[in-house]
Structure formats: structure tokens, C-alpha cells
């Protein structure tokens, strides 16, 4: 009964030439759109986390808002030069604590500094992002989930009494086709390549977070083309 309507609709769309889009233009525009969407997603997510991390860092740095910002004095009789306790924390790709023993999984990539080390570990398809550091982890531990990648900001207060600097750990899975991650820490300076190995990357740096001069990490493919960037 509605065949007549269909016929009319078919006739109405009849025209001598079919619509053939310019495929080159379409593909170029699609790639460009995908790249910009990737960059915007990353920038937005990381910026949100950076604000949270910085706010937490400031809160910790202020120590409740009164008095000098120093760590508690050690108990009487305890040597101040005692070696601080080493702590390892591992979180999975969803930001949840990793299973027990994750800190012993196969190391994919690791970075170290004098305050500790950070390692991406893998076992049976599961990933664990582990950070080892002296002293107690702060609450300023954030994870950023990204398309095809996962970046972590695991900021810890330095163990020295001034407690002003933040160790930021930046690690995750390299996006497809990416071979290099160049990091420019907050405050500017020359970009430094993150350590990459087995499809993962990691980089640790120590600074005082400054939102007015964000850190930037740019991801490149083997041809040197930028695939996306993070601003922290």
C-alpha cells in the first residue's frame, strides 16, 4: 500500500549523476579529525588531572594551612640519618590497586632517580604501573586513561623536610605507530626523551607544579610526525 510512496521517493531522488565524494579529501579530513580529537581528548583529560594533582600538592605543601611546612621530627633517640622506608605502590589500568605480587611481574620499562623508581610491569595481559619511592606515598596519585594509552601522574612529596617539590611519574603504553615521547617538564627547557621499551614509555621528573607553565609530552611516529601531545 505504501509502494506508491516509495516509488515517488525513489523518483524524487533520481538524477543523472551519482554522488561520488572526493576520497582523497575525505581520508585527509578524516585523519585530521581523528588526530585533533585524539589531542583534544588527551589535553582535556590531562589538564583536569593536573589541576587535581596540583591542588592536592598545594594542600599537602601547606600542611593544613598553618605553621612551617616541615615533616614531623623523628622520635627521640632515633637517628635523623636513618634510611627511610621504601614503599612500592602498583595500580592497574583502571586505577585500582594491582593484585598482590604485581611488583614482581615482568618489567617492560623502568626509570629511576635518587628518590626511587617507576616501572611498567606486565603479566598475562594485565598491566601494573608501579612506583617505588622512599617514605610514604601521598594522596596525590592520579591516573589518566587515554585512547590506546594510559598516562600516570604519581606525584609524591619528597622525603626531605622542605617538602616543596613533587616527583611526577609519566608512564604508559605507547599509542599505535608511536616510537618516541619527548617531555618538556614544567618550567620549560629542552625536551627530554622518555624511556621507551617494548611498546611502553616512562619518565620521572621533579619540580614544583606550575599550571602557568605546563609540562608537555609530544608523541611521535618513526617518520617524526607528531601523533598527539599531553599537557600536564
Partner 1 sequence: MKTSAESEYVEFVTHHADRLCRTAYLLCGDWRRAEDATQEALIRLYRVWPRIQRKGGIGAYARKVVVSTTLDGLRPRSSREVVGGSTYFTATADPDDRIALAESRLVIVRALAQLPPRQRACVVLRYFDELSVDETAAALGCRPGTVKSQTTRALERLRAELAPSTLSDFAGHGG
Nearest to 204 by CA among 228, 185, 223, 222: 185
What is the C-alpha to C-alpha distance for residues 109 and 220, in angstroms, rounded to an integer? 18
Shortest CB 94 distance to partner 1, Å: 19
Nearest to 172 by CA among 88, 51, 91: 91
Residue ranges in 28-47 that form contacts with partner 1 under rule CB under 8 A = 29-31, 33-34, 37
* Runs of H (alpha helix) within the chain: 3-12, 23-62
Segment near partner 1 (CB under 8 A); pick from 6-14, 85-93, 113-121, 191-199? 6-14
Given 16, 18, 76, 124, the residue binding partner 1 (CB under 8 A): 18
Q: Binding to partner 1 by residue 15, rule CB under 8 A?
A: yes
What is the C-alpha to C-alpha distance for residues 58 and 21, in angstroms, rounded to an integer? 54
Q: Binding to partner 1 by residue 14, rule CB under 8 A?
A: yes
Q: Binding to partner 1 by residue 223, rule CB under 8 A?
A: no
User: Whose Cβ is closer to partner 1: residue 38's or residue 200's?
Assistant: 38
Residue with cell 594522596: 139
Residue-by-residue DSSP string for 96-120: SBPPTTGGGSEEEEEEEETTEEEEE
Shortest CB 31 distance to partner 1, Å: 8
User: Whose Cβ is closer to partner 1: residue 72's or residue 125's?
Assistant: 125
Q: How far apart are the first and last CA of the chain?
A: 63
Contact call for residues 114 and 98 (beta carbons, < 8 A): no
Q: Binding to partner 1 by residue 161, rule CB under 8 A?
A: no
Shortest CB 2 distance to partner 1, Å: 5
Interface residue list for partner 1 (CB under 8 A): 1-2, 4-6, 8-15, 18-21, 23, 26-27, 29-31, 33-34, 37
Amino acid at each position: 500500500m505504501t509502494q506508491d510512496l516509495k516509488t515517488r521517493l525513489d523518483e524524487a531522488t533520481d538524477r543523472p549523476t551519482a554522488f561520488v565524494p572526493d576520497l582523497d579529501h575525505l581520508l585527509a579530513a578524516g585523519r585530521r579529525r581523528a588526530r585533533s580529537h585524539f589531542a583534544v581528548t588527551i589535553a582535556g583529560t590531562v589538564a583536569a588531572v593536573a589541576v587535581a594533582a596540583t591542588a592536592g600538592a598545594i594542600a599537602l605543601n601547606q600542611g593544613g594551612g598553618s605553621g612551617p611546612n616541615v615533616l614531623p621530627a623523628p622520635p627521640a633517640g632515633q637517628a635523623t640519618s636513618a634510611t627511610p622506608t621504601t614503599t612500592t605502590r602498583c595500580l592497574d589500568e583502571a586505577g585500582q590497586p594491582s593484585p598482590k605480587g604485581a611488583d614482581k611481574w615482568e618489567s617492560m620499562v623502568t626509570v629511576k632517580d635518587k628518590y626511587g623508581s617507576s616501572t611498567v610491569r606486565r603479566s598475562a595481559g594485565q598491566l601494573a604501573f608501579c612506583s617505588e619511592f622512599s617514605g610514604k606515598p601521598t594522596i596525590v596519585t592520579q591516573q589518566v586513561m587515554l585512547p590506546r594509552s594510559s598516562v600516570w601522574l604519581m606525584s609524591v612529596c619528597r622525603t626531605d623536610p622542605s617538602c616543596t617539590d613533587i616527583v611526577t611519574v609519566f608512564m604508559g603504553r605507547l599509542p599505535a605507530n608511536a616510537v618516541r615521547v619527548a617531555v618538556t617538564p614544567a618550567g620549560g627547557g629542552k625536551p627530554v626523551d622518555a624511556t621507551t621499551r617494548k611498546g611502553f614509555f616512562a619518565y620521572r621528573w621533579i619540580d614544583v607544579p606550575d599550571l602557568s607553565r605546563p609540562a608537555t609530552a609530544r608523541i611521535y611516529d618513526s617518520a617524526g610526525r607528531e601523533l598527539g601531545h599531553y599537557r600536564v
